[in-house]
Structure 1
């Protein structure tokens, strides 16, 4: 587990990317670092009082929401760097989802709302970066929700496009980590595993994607990005 954000391998892709060393050091010293061993560990429960922010630093996690009637759905799958919860919109807020680890080892950093607010006031570039990150998350979420009425192939492309915007090049390749089963991915884009399988096969045959162990490689990043921009 990284003892400081200064040596984190995801530093360049998180909200601290481009910040000065003093800002990074102060932010890092404000974190409480949590290590979850084993899949299925709960970071926080839906309905728990909101008490601060949880940052995914290593491993993968999913956000699960229980709907009215008791049905449980996967809202999102997250990899580093990601915030597991966003800024609340009301007084006395509570977590709207349950965060569950899906990797054997998961590292999470916690920072209280008061401490993050103080840091943002002290280091304005950090505030701008945080605002940009949150704006991007909300924009991507809104676009994905709008795409849920489209055919499954287009829903899948929209999901991959959103992830592509957040991903890093791996050996000059665009690889989207998909740390969940095909059934769980189908649940995210609101379809059946069988329909998802057919859509993936069609995109592979078109030379747009290539399934890989633990993820999907985007072969036509230009096409996928254009789809999301449109």
Structure 2
């Protein structure tokens, strides 16, 4: 059962919709820290805040299902959300993993169509739900906000295009190496330690690989002395040699 984030929460449901901030920061102040809403006036921030709700989910809870009517979009304040698409035969493909500070669901707000994907919490997660009505009027009145919204969607599109190129042109080993190097650049420690952002089967689907292929590549890289694997923590021992695998 998906959450009811926009005012239609079902009694007795296990999902939690919070009408008060989980932190001491007022909602307009929190919105002003998100890239999309930077530059808005205090009055504009208060208007958007009136259409927002905090949502708490446990691991495995659904934010929305593929085919649900669009009611708004979301920002991850804590935790992670996976975006999946289902095929008619019931297979699921992980399209994205959304992390803290990132948003999802913005593009379909413009079209007013059903959500084309399913969003699921990968861990205990705190979301900020922003209703469609809270932003559509602002888009008409504020060209700067409209440009930021378009830039945000363009960045997401570039990422998806890069994914398609990776699936089409890179081997399975290169996809895994690319993931490790990307994680190391964005989130790694000075000692080259990386923590995988999700379970291996989720990451395998994200890379369009079978789970056993993902595990085999990690084993081969470890056998070559390029990495060490300790559960979800991976240490990169030779970044230049790993990067050479992408050539």
Alignment of 1:24-173 (within 5 A): 24=45, 26-36=47-57, 38-88=58-108, 93-103=113-123, 105-149=124-168, 150-159=170-179, 167=186
Q: Deviations over 1:188-216 (max 9, x none)?
A: 21222332123335556575x66576566
Q: 1:29 to 1:158 in 2, by over 3 A?
A: farther
Instruction: Give the match for residue 33 of structure 2.
Output: 11
Post-superposition shift, 1:176?
Answer: 6.5
Q: How far apart in 2 are the matches of 1:106 and 1:173?
A: 29
Contact 1:40-1:102 at 8 Å conserved across structures: yes
Q: Deviations over 1:35-61 (max 9, x none)?
A: 22x211111111111122122221111
Q: In the alignment, does 2:195 pair up with 1:184?
A: no
Contact 1:144-1:158 at 8 Å conserved across structures: no
Q: How far apart in 1 are the matches of 2:51 and 2:192?
A: 33
Q: 1:30 to 1:139 in 2, by over 3 A?
A: same
- Equivalent position SS for 2:60: coil
Post-superposition shift, 1:183?
Answer: 1.8
> What is the TM-score with the length of structure 2 in the denominator?
0.69
Instruction: Give the aligned CA root-mean-square deviation in angstroms.
Output: 3.8
Q: Deviations over 1:45-79 (max 9, x none)?
A: 11111122122221111112220212223222211
> What is the TM-score with the length of structure 1 in the denominator?
0.73
Instruction: Give the match for residue 196 of structure 1.
Output: 214
Q: How far apart in 1 are the matches of 2:155 and 2:182?
A: 10
Post-superposition shift, 1:146?
Answer: 2.0
Q: 1:49 to 1:215 in 2, by over 3 A?
A: farther
Q: How far apart in 2 are the matches of 1:144 and 1:116?
A: 29
